[in-house]
Structures are given as structure tokens and as C-alpha cells.
Amino acid sequence: MEKIFAGKNALVIGGSGGIGRAVALGLAERGARIVLHGGSSQERLDSALKLVRAAGAECTGFLYPADSAGPDIAAAEILSRVREFLDGAFPSILVCAWGPFKQGNIEDMGPEDWRYLIENNLTFPGIVVSSCLGDMMNKRWGRILLFGGTNTDTIRGFKTTAVYSAAKTALGALAKSVARSAGPLGVTCNVICPGLTDTEYTSEALRAYNSERSPGGEVLKPEDIAKIALGALENSTVNGGIIPVDRGLAF
Ligand SMILES: NC(=O)c1ccc[n+]([C@@H]2O[C@H](COP(=O)([O-])OP(=O)(O)OC[C@H]3O[C@@H](n4cnc5c(N)ncnc54)[C@H](OP(=O)(O)O)[C@@H]3O)[C@@H](O)[C@H]2O)c1
């Protein structure tokens, strides 16, 4: 495979498992030097590091549960750890994969639910993007990839995921704003909106739901999502994109 990201530093937040790990592996195969971030499982982080190193990439990683201290502190702490690994440099490829999910009727969502879902799915990635963007603009090169939710590629109504989906839909405005401000300086920012995707985090109940709801009963794999995500990272013509990868699923 062509090492088109040789010489580039990539940070994958939530890269120790699920969709983030599949994207990290693809970046490694394309020659990037990787910093993997994970939430709390040392075992999953170690296994992801092994996988990414086996692809020939220089790779390091660390754990930091980003919902523990508020999005501003989490973003600052994670970037400070990453810059230690990168001898003071900022990442020039930023993937923010982690995005916690909670279902519930909108009338049952309390202030804590609102805070948790908006802070971790919008404010946190937003602060990380703002913190890395100036450096990318100065260097005239940067790639940012964010993850929306299923069907959040446009404004829709959701019966049981209103708060999560509101935060994820807003990421589209963030990506388009970055593309508008920083696109002329060589920076791209896109949002991938996965369909129902089974990962190691999927419970049996959710696995059954995913299979029942997916077009043709075919549930997506992290690699299916990563393939399109990597295409968006590779091609600077894709900028401000909000890209559904869901086999046409519509709730
Ligand atoms: N899976 C789907 O069907 C689906 C559908 C639509 C959209 N999405 C979106 O796609 C993105 C990736 O989803 P995913 O299914 O791969 O799972 P995910 O749970 O969003 O991501 C897993 C990664 O996040 C880390 N993590 C877990 N808790 C954390 C915390 N408190 N702070 C920081 N990191 C934490 C995990 O580390 P540990 O292994 O240590 O826990 C792992 O590296 C998310 O933004 C999600 O909302 C997923």
C-alpha cells in the first residue's frame, strides 16, 4: 500500500477499540506515526498497539477516560500527553472516534444526560479541533475526521436518541466551518455517520437489534466504516463532508 501519510503524526482518540481502531490500522498501513488513545481498558489498548505496530507503524498509546473531568480538562490533558510523545508537535491527522451513546425519550432526559451527551459528543471534539487547528493552518496541511451518529447526516427527528443525535448532527456544522476557514490552507475536516456497526462493545441485545434493523440484515463491521473514513482522509477534495456509511438505512 502507498505510504501516503509517511512523516505525518496521527492522534486517534478512542483508537484502542471499535471503529477508531480500524481507522488507526488503516492510517498505520498508509505510513502515519500513530498515537492511540483509549478510555480505560489496558488490555484493549495493548492489543490495538500490537496490531498497529504489526502494520509497520511507529505507535504509542495511553488511557484517559475523557468523561472524568470535563471536556476542557480532558482535551488539554490528552493533547499534552500526545505532544509529550511527539516531542512537542501537534498531530497533523486528528481522528476523534470516541462518542458515547445513550438512549431515552426526550421528555425523560435530565440535565445530567444533556450535559454528558453534549459535552462528550460535541464540546470535547470541538475543543480538540480548535486546539489543533491553528497549527495545521500554519503548516498548510491537516486532516480531521469526526464521527456522527446513524442518520445524523442531515437534520432529522429522533424518537429515542434526540440528545445524542442533536450533538452528532452539530458536528456537521463544525466540519463545514473548519472546511470554510481552513480548507484554503490545506486542512480538511469531515464527518462520517456510521450505520449500525457491531464492535466488541456491542451487547447481545444490541446485536439482535442491529441485525433486525440493518438493510438486508447485514450489520456493518468497523472495517466497512474505516474504508470510507480513510478515503475521506486521503482525498483533500472531500472537505466539509457529512458522509453516511449505512447502506441506505433510514429509521
Ligand atoms: N457502533 C455503532 O453502531 C455506531 C453507529 C453510529 C455512530 N457511531 C459513532 O462512531 C464512533 C465510534 O463508535 P464505536 O462503536 O467504535 O465505539 P465508542 O465506544 O464510541 O469508541 C470506543 C473507543 O472509545 C474509548 N472510550 C471508551 N470510554 C471512553 C471514555 N470515557 N473516554 C475516552 N475514551 C473512551 C474506548 O476505549 P476502551 O476500550 O478502553 O473502553 C475505545 O478506544 C462514536 O463516535 C459513535 O458515536 C457508532
Is the pTM higher than 0.75?
yes
- Strand 242-245 versus strand 93-96 pairing type: unpaired
Q: Is the CB of 30 under 6 A from ligand 1?
A: no
Q: Is the CB of 96 inside a 6 Å radius of any atom of ligand 1?
A: no
* pLDDT tens, residue by residue, 188-230: 999 999 999 999 999 999 999 999 999 999 999 999 999 999 9
Which are the contacts of 53, defined by CB distance < 8 A and separation ≥ 6?
28, 59
Of the pLDDT bands very low, low, confident and very high (cuts 50, 70, 90), residue 251 is confident
| pLDDT per position as a tens digit, 129-169 | 999 999 999 999 999 999 999 999 999 999 999 999 999 99
Within 10 angstroms of residue 204's Cβ, the number of other Cβ atoms is 7
The finding on whether 66 has its CB within 6 A of some atom of ligand 1 is yes
Model pLDDT for residues 83-107, shown as the tens digit of each residue: 999 999 999 999 999 999 999 999 9
CA of 226 to the centre of ligand 1 (A): 14
> Is the pLDDT confidence value at 245 over 90?
yes
Pocket test of ligand 1: the residue of 45, 82, 98, 224 to mutate, having most ligand atoms within 8 Å of its CB, is: 98
